Amino acid sequence: MQLVFATNNANKLREAQQILPNYKIISLEDAGIHEELPETHETILENSKEKAEYLYNKYHINCFSDDTGLEVEALGGAPGVYSARFAGPQKNNDDNIALILQKLQGVENRKARFVTYITLIINGEQHIFEGEMRGSILPCRSGNGGFGYDPVFLPEGYDKSVAELSPEEKNKISHRGRSLQKMAEYLSSK
């Protein structure tokens, strides 16, 4: 079965392909879709649903979308739904990390969590899968792997950042990995 993943992020696409090897997972670009998908809501869940519903309703294709946010306790849950554009509309990972580190300078409570919601629509039927990874924000970057906030996120029970984990290790514990695993389990039960 082919599923269109509502992304052009090569890192996210690779993660999904690794976790769902029995399915042909393609990006928006691979599907010939070159428009920006709407994200007009104030919650991660609603944005995930909106993107999948837009794709399914406009193109009538089996698809799934994700929306992810980093929630930092000391920042009242920010950046949350604005994680990708925390430091501005340019959606620059380095700028976002620099801003998080600046805002947490001298702050003791560095607890944080990543949350992902995946919305899957197959033949008009919608399913939601949630994944979470708890941890804390490191005082400085560590590691060259991963993407986004991975170099400053220390998962609970680990002594290295997500950016220092292998892709296989990350997929087992990450928010997106967990939600994709739930989706894989659902698909295999059908």
Q: Would you name the residues annotated as active-site residues?
A: 67
- Nearest-angstrom CA–CA distance, 43 and 14: 25
Helix (H, G, I), strand (E, B) or coil at 27: coil
> 104 is written with which tokens?
């947490």
The DSSP string of 32-83 is T--SPPP---SSHHHHHHHHHHHHHHHH---EEEEEEEEEEGGGTT-EETTG
- Nearest-angstrom CA–CA distance, 185 and 124: 19
Nearest Cα residue to 154 out of 117, 112, 116, 115? 112
- Nearest-angstrom CA–CA distance, 144 and 23: 29
* Residue with token string 């849950």: 77
